Amino acid sequence: MPRLTDARKELRRTQIAEAAVRCFSRNGLERTSIADITVESGLSAGSIYAHYRNKADLVRAAAREVLAKRADVLGEYAAADAPPSPDELLSRLIAAIDPAEARVGVQTWGEATTDPAIRDIVVDMTDRMRAMLHDCVTAWLVKVEHHEPPRAWEHATPIAHRVMALYQAELLYTALRTPTEETPS
Amino acid sequence: MPRLTDARKELRRTQIAEAAVRCFSRNGLERTSIADITVESGLSAGSIYAHYRNKADLVRAAAREVLAKRADVLGEYAAADAPPSPDELLSRLIAAIDPAEARVGVQTWGEATTDPAIRDIVVDMTDRMRAMLHDCVTAWLVKVEHHEPPRAWEHATPIAHRVMALYQAELLYTALRTPTEETPS
DNA sequence: CCACAAAAAGAATGGCTGCTCTGCTTACGG
DNA sequence: CCGTAAGCAGAGCAGCCATTCTTTTTGTGG
């Protein structure tokens, strides 16, 4: 049956989503038209609508992609044998920030203030990141600072909160600092 | 000359801008149409365009209004005789957050990532707030912690940075946490 | 009070945008 | 290889929205 193989279908979806992220990073969530994504992806409008129900669906996918990538970076450190100190953790997270994704991330925050679907995605990803940060800090307290595990978990809470806040602030500064790149001609 | 008196003209401008902020807080910067602002303000489209050149101009005015109000709150503490400690300062700032304005503030960040005019407003206001925070913390270090003024200023820098970040993060959380209010019927 | 110019109203407009629809093309299973 | 059902292209459509234009109303200086 001549359906597209799942791998190929997923490939198209990410091809579209990545093109969308590039467009969003340049022009913002609402200012990019389907036509823009059309030329950026090399596909046609019809094709895009074969893979995403509508524009909102595509925006959600893009938001998830950007936020998930940020969470992944954190996941690596959370699983490390030698847990970094909070300061070290923070500066590594900051070093891993990609300006284009930072911009889309901040746009996502703005959209989340009015769109419940985006809001859920952002809140979910934020909670997940904070939890990983919490694990990471707890591991550091136990392994390096030799705290007792149950107390360490409590101690880690405000520290994780602060690291998260400082990271998000840095994300905002990066998004604002970086000039929005020109369309490649 | 039968021109509107300056006071009345300014009144109309803020009437429009405040209606715009309410709309933005509900539906976001781009999803509110001039028609929405028309019904919220009780004025007509023609009238709005008599006071603002175009929608972008109105958005800029709204952004400035919201950000300036936040800076004003901070200004009070900066001028106080008994400077609050950084923790105290932060919790007072957080207590003064208005959910609706927090939403518009976060939307403003998103818009700033692609619109240079908004970006300048946000960066300017952010810098100004950080500077006031810096003064505030320096005053506390000198008056309460009895640091030497020149050293105090240096010490204050990272503290002010952290307070700012924590405040902005709280602003984001407030914007995400608060359900967007319904239109009054 | 009055005259009159500015301000407000609100319908009209033109452009853009999301989305759909009709065939052509392609890749997959046999 | 081939038939077929899907993916895909791209023009077309309907609706919305910022902005403008004309007419009516309003406030102000004299």
Give the burial class of B23: count Cβ atoms within 10 A of its Cβ; 0-12 exposed, 13-18 middle, 19 or more buried: buried
> pLDDT tens digits for A107-136?
999 999 999 999 999 999 999 999 999 999
Q: What pLDDT sits at residue B14?
A: 96
- In this model, does residue A184 exceed pLDDT 50? no
> What does the pLDDT look like over A11-55, one tens digit per residue?
899 999 999 999 999 999 999 999 999 999 999 999 999 999 999
- What does pLDDT average to over chain B? 92
Q: Which tokens in the block code for residue A149?
A: 């595990």
CB contact under 8 A, B107 and A110: yes
pLDDT of residue A140: 93
Kindly determine whether the C-beta of residue B3 is less than 7 Å away from any atom of nucleic acid strand C. Answer: yes
> Above pLDDT 90, what percent of chain A?
82
Among A109, A114, A176, the residue with its CB nearest the CB of B172 is A109
d(CA B147, CA B182): 50
Reduced to 3 states (helix: H, G, I; strand: E, B; else coil), residue A63 is: helix
What pLDDT score does A105 carry?
98
Torsion of CA B65, B70, B72, B73, to 10 degrees: 150
A113 contacts in chain B (CB < 8 Å):
28, 103, 106-107, 175-176, 180
pLDDT in tens, B99-126: 999 999 999 999 999 999 999 999 999 9
Render pLDDT for B136-173 as a digit per residue (tens, 0 to 9). 999 999 999 999 999 999 999 999 999 999 999 999 99
The per-residue pLDDT for B184 is: 39
Is the minimum distance from the CB of B1 to strand D below 7 Å? yes
Residue B77: per-residue pLDDT = 77
Model's pTM, two decimal places? 0.93
Residue A135's contacts (CB-CB under 8 Å, 6 or more residues apart) are: A78
Q: What is the pLDDT of residues A129-163, one digit of tens each?
A: 999 999 999 999 999 999 999 999 999 999 999 99
Residue with tokens 């984001």: B172
